Amino acid sequence: MTLLAAASAVRENAYAPYSRFKVGAAIRAASGKVYAGCNVENVAYPEGTCAEAGAIAAMVAAGDTVIAEVLVIADSPSPVPPCGGCRQKIAEFAAQDVVVTLCTTDGTQQAMTVADLLPGVFSLAHMAKT
């Protein structure tokens, strides 16, 4: 299954009663397996959890820990990037040159790298003492 097909399918399962803004994400792990996630809102946290975080959680729960590729899709006039928290989560599991493709439901796509998505990423190197 392609990342676009997986993200598009899971997007339909998004629980977005407040924003009505459904987002789907799919990740290809280094193992080749595809993991998908959608946004989930609730009354106490109406902005909800993000699709990317859901896909990452599914990947880790299955035992994979390395992201090879990411795709995000939403019904928006322009491609929607992951939020700041999801950018950091992606950077935790992906190399800086991993491609992140942002898509709209009408077919617009924008590809960038993790480094483009999150310049100045915080990493373990910042905590190392020499």
Rounded Cα–Cα distance for residues 120 and 105 (Å): 30
Q: Spell out a b/e string for 86-110, using b for 16 or more CB atoms within 10 Å of the CB, else e.
A: bbebbbebbeeebbbbbbbeeeeee
CB-neighbour burial class of residue 60 (10 A; exposed 0-12, middle 13-18, buried 19+): middle
User: Has 18 been labeled as part of a binding site?
Assistant: no
User: Has 13 been labeled as part of a binding site?
Assistant: no
User: Has 98 been labeled as part of a binding site?
Assistant: no
User: Has 39 been labeled as part of a binding site?
Assistant: yes
| Catalytic residue check, 52 | yes
Of 47, 52, 69, 92, the catalytic one is 52
User: Has 50 been labeled as part of a binding site?
Assistant: yes
User: Has 38 been labeled as part of a binding site?
Assistant: no
From the annotation, which residues make up the binding site for substrate?
39-45
Would you list which residues are annotated within the binding site for Zn(2+)?
50, 83, 86
Q: Which residues are annotated as a binding site?
A: 39-45, 50, 83, 86
- Give catalytic residues, as residue numbers: 52
